[in-house]
Structure 1
Amino acid sequence: MNFLSWVAIAAVVAVLIQISSSSENQETPSEAVKIIELPGQPKVNFQQFSGYITVDEKQDRALFYYLVESEIEPASKPLVLWLNGGPGCSSIGAGAFSEHGPFRPSGDILVRNEYSWNKEANMLYLETPAGVGFSYSANSSYYKVVDDEMTARDNFVFLQRWFAKFPEYKNRGFFIAGESYAGHYVPQLALLIVQSNKDKQFNLKGIALGNPLLEFTTDFNSRAMFLWSHGLITDSTYVAFTSVCNFTRYVSESFRFSVSSVCVGVMDQVSREVSQYVDQYDVTLDVCLSSLQAQSKALTRPQYEHKIDVCVRDETYIYLNRKHVQKALHARLVGVTNWSICSKVIHYKLLNLEIPTVPILCSLIQSGIRVMVYSGDQDSIIPLTGSRTLVHGLAKELGLNTTVTYRVWFAQKQVGGWTQVYGDILSFATIRGASHEVPFSQPERSLVLFNAFLEGKTLPTAL
């Protein structure tokens, strides 16, 4: 679906939502959705809520959310909706329990994340689309046709109905953030908000996109240079990966189930040199051997306080599949036997990956919505070079002048990364030493970046 199509459906969505939301419960949240305590969690001074919002009554389709209120003065802090990508991966399992939520699983308990983003905001994690995590559709035929349009529409319906249950958040600043394929989810949702926001029911201030897929060719073809420059592939393989069969061609052929023999040969060569023991989401990070060896019951992990827990996803999978944990979360499994980090039931329309979302970012900026794009600089999946090129091109198209020239920024008296700002509305930043999931591998630096984004300030310039 192209950009004009998104504009065209906005008016239709607005009408549908006005009709469907009229029957929704307008009361403040009840104790039924308040989380008393998660199993194994330490004592905390903030509230947690979770539950379901029905987005389609006829199809019995509902999205699951987890709200973590700010540690300090939640009434004065903004609300941030977080969306993971995939398409089809869990914002609760990845974002909340592996990246920037208040806890991370460690054996039978939860340990505090010292750099949780709820230090700065009220965090709302949404499992989307239906079929991801605890979200579901009772009509399983829905899973065969999931695409960007359906996902954006459901997310918009979710927000309107969620705000009806939590009206105290309507007058606060609202932000949307996400990573990876959220480079589609977030701008598309923000566009529907802008196009349908005649009564100012949302107070959308800005969006933040981490290592996002924005433009298929630029983003995916950046991979060859990244792998070669980091010494993961040879000169000859680099030549083959850029001239014989580039990554865009390989992925495009895969979507169409027609991978050529020449592309198979090149990708086999790339995979053999990179090896399965390098995490392509962070080429400098150790891998979780239990995942590779399918021995999740015998995890050997470093302590989180001293080193990144590379097996945190295994830990999260085990934790969220415990029945008493699901009960505490007010969650249930519908049509599946286990919670999983990425959906095994939805069949997403992967050709949507080829649709650029840069034009949507252009429209959002013209509407006054702040945009930040940030990149973990050790990610080979969607490398920083592609994102930086796209942001610079967007600024040029909009006629935005550079207000902060490309420079280092600091966190904890060390270089946190590099940044460039255009006007007072578009910015790009890298996070030094960070992975595709920035807060997972660089929690301190990501929190500094997150705070600057919320406050609309430039990243720190001094030690």
Structure 2
Amino acid sequence: MKWFSAPTALGLVSVLSFSLSTGAQQTFFNAPGSYASYDEGLFTPLEDLSVLSETQFTTLSHPAFPAYSVRVKKSNFCDESVKAYTGYIDIQARHLFFYFFESRNNPEKDDVILWTNGGPGCSSSLGLFMEHGPCRVVDNNTTKFHPESWNSNANMFFIDQPIGVGFSYADYGETVSTTEEAAVDIASFVGIFFEHFRKFKGRAFHMAGESYGGRYIPVFASAVFDQNKRLEEGGVTPINLKSIMIGNGITDFYAMIESYWAMVCTPASLAPVLDIGTCVAMKQAIPRCKKWLKENCVDQFDAINCGASATFCDSALTGPVFTQSNKNPYDLSKSCSAEELNLNLCYPITMNISSYLDIPRVRSQLGVHPKVGNFKSCSNAVGIAFAQQLDEYRPTQHYVAALLERGVKVLIYVGTLDWICNHVGNQKWTEELEWSGHEAFVDEPLREWTVDGKKAGLTRSANGLTYLTIEGAGHMVPYDKPKEALKMVNRWLDGKDF
């Protein structure tokens, strides 16, 4: 989820300062050469998840990642039909929390998906307990089986990242404030996991996320892909990265500019929600916004002028939606006050999730570290740290193009009722993406895709890139349209056309 503590730079949480954590810089990943070959006798894989304890963590390490280790335990909860595990990725004094659920279908053969929510700063517990996890929170104390979970046919991770999000924590206040920093941690964790649990080696691996995941996932996947060469040179099995999946993402911020106006001032999805005078003022601001942002954030990156341009454009193009529309920015078909947005992101279930994850017995079962305070769906501090680095204003679409050129498939799916990372802007950037498959992609007409014989949305696909809409869904597609979302991901994993 892309979220706000207050309306600021085109959806950023605020703006400016940088504190580099040292742990992420001490791995072989950042070395210009390759991994040193390691002595096989120094490494014994754990191999089997079933040997893990339910009462205490088992610590995993690997000589290729000397600054990293993983604590993991059985945590059979949420879905009694499958094996579940939780733990921490330890990067010296920084600790990232994760959940892992085996597939309901065939865990010995099914693909592996890694999922992260966005923000920046929102916990992937939202994806787990609200969207497409094995169970959904019913009230403050209870969960129920979720039949449309994405682990129906895949083994699945949910990760609280970066440091300070969800159950993740730091020993001495260390922080991560850019996506590129966070990518080092994720790539190393993935390497350690597949080395230890060798039944997953060579298994198709997919990296997925929503909202700010449109920035996270292309960078994270690129880190995994680039790490593979160095892994191979050191005698470590590379990760079989097959695809990335981005739901209602912010990937190319510049291509999104005009869409903020289009979604609320034209019938792009629904009837206009702002008055004519406001829409005219927004329309008049668009040329200046595009000029300033292109000069200061795109053609060259000038932090001061980019920040100033973004602040102006935010006030002109996103401010009115919060101050005048009384609409849920994640679903324009619903009303939501500013107070509700700040309280629960316009979704009361997020408060139930927080209450459930603050129950002592639940925390004990998951192995949450005592240092972690009350659960928060989204961390304001993390959001501000990323905003201060203007992390959103980086050329993430180029990572997508580079992955496509290297044979990694890309699925961009969008709920049509979302405003914050909407279908108008996502369609625009996929059509403008510079890569070898550009002409073939734009030459494909948009066509209907169906679920159980009924129209589910529109799609186009060519040379590994697929763009797809889900009608009637907002920002969190699996929450609004769980059946359609599961059909979508299953077809994607199976390599079937939409």
Same fold (TM > 0.5):
yes
The answer for unaligned runs of 5 or more in structure 1 is 1-8, 297-308
Tell me if 1:272 matches 2:346. Answer: no
Alignment CA distance shift 1:213-1:270 (3 Å): closer
Q: Which residue of 1 aligns with 2:245?
A: 208
Residue 344 of structure 1 and its aligned partner are, at CA, apart by 3.5
Moved more, 260-269 or 431-440: 260-269
Letter of the structure 2 residue corresponding to residue 433 of structure 1: G
Residue 139 of structure 1 and its aligned partner are, at CA, apart by 2.3
Task: Check conservation: 1:63, 1:158, Cα contact below 8 A.
Answer: no
* Distance across 1 between alignment mates of 2:108 and 2:138: 31
Tell me if 1:62 matches 2:95. Answer: yes
Tell me if 1:419 matches 2:459. Answer: yes
Residue 397 of structure 1 and its aligned partner are, at CA, apart by 5.2
1:234 to 264, 272, 275: 275
Residue 76 of structure 1 and its aligned partner are, at CA, apart by 1.3
* Distance across 2 between alignment mates of 1:401 and 1:97: 39
Task: Check conservation: 2:265, 2:279, Cα contact below 8 A.
Answer: yes
* Distance across 2 between alignment mates of 1:217 and 1:342: 25
Task: Check conservation: 1:237, 1:266, Cα contact below 8 A.
Answer: no
Letter of the structure 2 residue corresponding to residue 26 of structure 1: P
- Counterpart of 1:196 in 2: which secondary structure? helix
Letter of the structure 2 residue corresponding to residue 243 of structure 1: Q
2:127 to 91, 95, 104: 95
Tell me if 1:26 matches 2:45. Answer: yes
Residue 151 of structure 1 and its aligned partner are, at CA, apart by 0.6
* Distance across 2 between alignment mates of 1:396 and 1:455: 25
Letter of the structure 1 residue corresponding to residue 472 of structure 2: G
CA offsets per residue over residues 114-145 of structure 1, 9 Å max, x none?
Answer: 211111211111111111111122121x22x5
Q: Which residue of 2 aligns with 1:332?
A: 369
Residue 322 of structure 1 and its aligned partner are, at CA, apart by 1.2
* Distance across 1 between alignment mates of 2:319 and 2:492: 40
1:284-299 matches, within 5 Å, as 284-285=333-334, 287=336, 291=340
1:297-308 matches, within 5 Å, as none
Alignment CA distance shift 1:285-1:70 (3 Å): farther
- Counterpart of 2:108 in 1: which secondary structure? helix
1:177-188 matches, within 5 Å, as 177-188=208-219
Letter of the structure 1 residue corresponding to residue 454 of structure 2: Q
Moved more, 265-274 or 155-164: 265-274
Identity of aligned residues (%): 28
* Distance across 1 between alignment mates of 2:103 and 2:468: 25
1:75 to 83, 108, 111: 108
CA offsets per residue over residues 244-292 of structure 1, 9 Å max, x none?
Answer: 36777799999847987897577654433312xx211011146599946
- Counterpart of 2:362 in 1: which secondary structure? helix
Task: Check conservation: 1:290, 1:311, Cα contact below 8 A.
Answer: no
Tell me if 1:381 matches 2:420. Answer: yes
Tell me if 1:282 matches 2:340. Answer: no
Task: Check conservation: 2:322, 2:338, Cα contact below 8 A.
Answer: no
Task: Check conservation: 2:76, 2:83, Cα contact below 8 A.
Answer: no
Alignment CA distance shift 1:18-1:126 (3 Å): farther
Residue 236 of structure 1 and its aligned partner are, at CA, apart by 2.0
* Distance across 2 between alignment mates of 1:370 and 1:269: 37
Residue 113 of structure 1 and its aligned partner are, at CA, apart by 1.4
Alignment CA distance shift 1:397-1:367 (3 Å): closer
Scaled by the length of structure 2, what TM-score is found? Answer: 0.77
Residue 22 of structure 1 and its aligned partner are, at CA, apart by 10
Residue 14 of structure 1 and its aligned partner are, at CA, apart by 7.5
Q: How many residues of Structure 1 are paired with residues of Structure 2 in the alignment?
A: 425
Q: Which residue of 2 aligns with 1:317?
A: 354
